């Protein structure tokens, strides 16, 4: 791959197809290599020369974008473009990077494109850095500079992320930035070091615990999961995160003590 991400656009609306093509042309690190009015027409091209990024409509006559997404190669990152927000959760199930709700602005498009850029940089760490866009300062500041928040470099560079549904969008969270997770019935609040407010998503604590890597995250209470590498202070039967005190229940105390004892060994 050169210093641009190749991309396809699939949309049965000519106006939407033209709009997205214009957005791609404005973005320095994207190169359009194919545009198609239907998924069936695009199928052969995707199999022959898979793009790095695919901007895909969902509701199309011959083959839905959701069904087509299940046929994509792992190398291709997927961004849905649709007028229907009810597909957001299903989009998560096919590992979409983002979900753009029509009509969307160039700023929103650029945010999604930046996610694809960072995803490919993580997949190919040995390659020279790809170009980053400078044409939209607000989008860069909100979604690129945030990744460089003031955290230890060893944590900021830690690989791994997960997608959660919040505010009718799919949001990618870097595992290294997660401090702890709090459960509230059928919802969880995910606290991060680079955002002032937690991300709230519809999910049980059990489901969240299963999605987080067990070698980095530990349940310490029925309502709390903590990122063990981010623990700085343990005071009596609680973990201190700034002004927040997280209780440690007897059920999980032994597991936490085991983690702490390992880190204390010379």
Mean pLDDT in residue range 230-254: 92
Query: 95, 112, 146 — which closes off a domain?
Result: 146
Confidence of residue 150 (pLDDT cuts 50, 70, 90): very low
Least confident of 25-29, 61-65, 129-133, 233-237: 129-133
Do 86 and 117 share a domain, yes or no? Answer: yes
CA distance 183 to 20: 39
Same domain, 173 and 202: yes
Non-local (6+) Cβ contacts of 47 within 8 A are: none
Same domain (yes/no): 162, 253: yes
pTM: 0.50
Q: Which of 97, 131, 146 is the last residue of a domain?
A: 146
Q: Which of 90, 116, 115, 112 is nearest to 102 (CA)?
A: 112
Using an 8 Å Cβ cutoff, are 199 and 164 in contact? Answer: yes
Q: What percent of the chain has pLDDT over 70?
A: 80
Give yes or no for residue 90 having a pLDDT over 90. no
d(CA 69, CA 95): 9
Closest CA to 90 of 115, 111, 109, 65: 65
Same domain, 209 and 93: no
Q: Please say whether the beta carbons of 218 and 252 come within 8 A.
A: yes
For residue 139, name the pLDDT band (cuts at 50, 70, 90). very low
- Do 157 and 214 lie in one domain? The reply is yes
Are both 134 and 161 inside the same structural domain? no
**Residue numbers of the domain that contains 55:** 5-146
Domain harbouring 14, CATH code: 3.40.50.2300
For the chain, what is the mean pLDDT?
81
Range with the lowest mean pLDDT among 89-98, 120-129, 190-199, 224-233? 120-129
Res. 108: pLDDT tops 60: yes
- Residue ending a domain, choose from 130, 146, 162: 146
Distance between CA 181 and CA 84 in Å, rounded?
30
Output the DSSP codes for 30-46: EEEEEEESSHHHHHHHH
Are residues 179 and 126 located together in one domain of the fold? no
In the predicted model, what is the mean pLDDT of residues 118-142?
53
Please tell me whether residues 178 and 138 are part of one structural domain: no
**Region of residue 167 (left: phi > 0; alpha: psi -120 to 50; beta: else):** left
* CA 143 to centroid of chain Cα atoms: 11
User: What's the distance, Cα to Cα, between the start and end of the chain in Å?
Assistant: 44
Instruction: Examine the domain organization and report whether 142 and 209 are in the same domain.
Output: no
* Residue 211 to residues 38, 77, 175, 176, 207, Cα–Cα distance (Å): 34, 20, 11, 14, 6
My answer on whether 116 and 239 are in the same domain is no
Q: Are 145 and 136 in contact (CB under 8 A)?
A: no
List, for residues 45-64, the tens digit of each pLDDT value.
998 999 999 999 998 887 88
Cα separation, 182 vs 122, in Å, equals 28
- Distance in angstroms (rounded) separating the CA atoms of residues 166 and 233: 30
Q: How many domains would you assign to the chain? A: 2
The residue with tokens 């839905």 is 64
For the beta carbon of residue 100, count every other beta carbon within 10 angstroms: 20
Supply the CATH number for residue 159's domain: 2.40.50.1020
- Beta strand 5-10 with 30-36 is parallel
- Is the same domain home to 87 and 207? no
Q: Same domain for 169 and 237?
A: yes
Give CA angle at 65 (165, 121), nearest 5°: 60
């Amino acid at each position: 791959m050169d210093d641009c991400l190749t991309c396809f656009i699939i949309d049965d609306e000519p106006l939407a197809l033209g709009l997205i093509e214009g957005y791609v042309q404005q973005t320095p690190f994207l190169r359009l290599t194919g545009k198609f009015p239907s998924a069936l027409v695009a199928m052969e091209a995707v199999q022959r020369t898979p793009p790095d990024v695919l901007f895909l409509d969902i509701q199309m006559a011959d083959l839905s974008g959701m069904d087509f997404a299940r046929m994509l190669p792992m190398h291709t990152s997927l961004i849905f473009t649709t007028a229907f927000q009810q597909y957001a959760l299903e989009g998560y199930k096919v590992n979409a990077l983002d979900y753009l709700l029509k009509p969307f602005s160039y700023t929103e498009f650029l945010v999604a494109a930046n996610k694809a850029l960072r995803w490919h940089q993580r997949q190919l760490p040995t390659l020279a850095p790809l170009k980053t866009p400078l044409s939209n300062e607000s989008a860069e500041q909100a979604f690129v500079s945030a990744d460089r928040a003031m955290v230890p470099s060893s944590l900021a560079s830690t690989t791994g992320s997960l997608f959660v549904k919040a505010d009718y969008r799919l949001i990618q969270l870097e595992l290294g930035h997660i401090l702890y997770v709090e459960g509230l019935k059928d919802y969880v609040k995910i606290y991060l070091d680079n955002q002032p407010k937690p991300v709230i998503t519809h999910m049980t604590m059990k489901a969240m615990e299963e999605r987080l890597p067990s070698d980095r995250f530990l349940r310490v209470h029925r309502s709390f999961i903590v990122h063990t590498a981010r623990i700085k202070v343990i005071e009596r039967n609680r973990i201190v995160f700034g002004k927040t005190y997280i209780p440690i229940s007897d059920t999980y105390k032994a597991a936490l003590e085991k983690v702490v004892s390992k880190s204390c060994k010379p």
